[in-house]
Amino acid sequence: MTAYPGAVSTPPLAPLLQRATAHLAPVMPLLTELGELFTGAGHEIALVGGPVRDAFLGRESPDIDLTTSASPDETEALLKTWGSATWDMGRAFGTIGARRGATVVEVTTYRADAYEPESRKPVVAFGTSLEEDLVRRDFAVNAMALRLPSMEFVDPYDGLADLAERRLRTPSAPEVSFSDDPLRMMRAARFAAQLGFHVEPSAEAAMRDMADRLSIISAERVRDELTKLLLAPSPRAGLALLVETGLADQVLPELPALKLEVDEHHRHKDVYEHSLTVLEQAIALEGPRTVPGLGAVEPVAAPDLVLRLAALLHDIGKPATRTFETGGGVSFHHHEMVGAKMTRKRLRELRFDKDTVKQVSRLVELHLRFHGYGGGEWTDSAVRRYVTDAGPLLSRLHLLTRSDTTTRNRRKAERLSRTYDDLEARIAKLLAEEELAAVRPELDGNQIAETLGIRPGPVLGRAYKHLLAVRLDQGVIGEDAARAELLRWWSEQPESADV
What is the DSSP annotation of 15-56? Answer: HHHHHHHHHTGGGHHHHHHHHHHHHHTT--EEEESHHHHHHH
Q: Which residues pair with 123 in a beta bridge?
A: 114
Give the Cα separation of 275 and 295 in Å (integer): 29
pLDDT band at 119 (very low <50, low <70, confident <90, very high): low
Q: What are phi and psi of 263, to 5 degrees?
A: -60, 140
Mean pLDDT of 126-147: 93
In the chain, the percentage of residues whose pLDDT exceeds 70 is: 91
In order, the DSSP letters of 377-446 are ---HHHHHHHHHHHGGGHHHHHHHHHHT---S-HHHHHHHHHHHHHHHHHHHHHHHHH-GGG---SS-HH
pLDDT band at 135 (very low <50, low <70, confident <90, very high): very high
Q: Quick one: angle between helices 479-491 and 458-474, nearest 10?
A: 130
Q: Quick one: angle between helices 235-245 and 183-195, nearest 10?
A: 150
Q: Quick one: angle between helices 394-403 and 410-434, nearest 10?
A: 170
* Chain centre distance of CA 65: 23
Give the Å distances, CA to CA, from 448 to 48, 75, 483: 66, 66, 8
Residue 470 pLDDT: 86
Give the Cα separation of 363 and 395 in Å (integer): 11
Which of 202-211, 260-269, 313-322, 378-387 shows the lowest per-residue confidence on average (mean pLDDT)? 260-269
**Domains, the chain:** 1-164 (3.30.460.10), 173-251 (1.10.110.30), 270-437 (1.10.3210), 445-498 (no CATH)
Sequence-ordered list of residues with C-beta below 8 angstroms from that of 491, at least 6 positions apart, any chain: none
Q: Which residues pair with 99 in a beta bridge?
A: 85, 104
Mean pLDDT of 342-349: 98
Q: 309: number of CA atoms within 13 Å, CB side?
A: 27
**370 pLDDT higher than 70:** yes
Q: Which residues pair with 85 in a beta bridge?
A: 99
**314 pLDDT higher than 90:** yes
Mean pLDDT of 164-174: 95
| Degrees, nearest 5: CA angle 376-333-408 | 60
Residue 308's nearest CA partner among 269, 356, 248 is 356
* pLDDT tens digits along 151-163: 999 999 999 999 9
pLDDT band at 9 (very low <50, low <70, confident <90, very high): very low
Give the Cα separation of 347 and 339 in Å (integer): 12
Give the Cα separation of 155 and 142 in Å (integer): 10
**392 pLDDT higher than 70:** yes
Give the Cα separation of 420 and 281 in Å (integer): 15
* pLDDT tens digits along 468-481: 888 878 888 889 99
Of residues 476 and 119, more confidence is placed in: 476
Give the Å distances, CA to CA, from 291 to 218, 295, 386, 394: 43, 5, 18, 15
In order, the DSSP letters of 232-249 are SS-HHHHHHHHHHHTHHH
| Degrees, nearest 5: CA angle 312-226-353 | 85
Q: Kindly report the number of other CB atoms within 10 A of residue 282's CB atom.
A: 24
Of residues 13 and 449, more confidence is placed in: 449
Q: Quick one: angle between helices 235-245 and 201-210, nearest 10?
A: 60
Give the Cα separation of 178 and 171 in Å (integer): 11
Sequence-ordered list of residues with C-beta below 8 angstroms from that of 341, at least 6 positions apart, any chain: 317, 361
Q: What pTM does this model have?
A: 0.82
Residue 7 pLDDT: 39
Give the Cα separation of 175 and 187 in Å (integer): 15
Give the Cα separation of 36 and 33 in Å (integer): 5
Mean pLDDT of 425-431: 86
446-482 residues labelled b (16+ CB within 10 A) or e (exposed): ebbbebbebeeeebbeebbebbeebbbeeeeeeeeeb
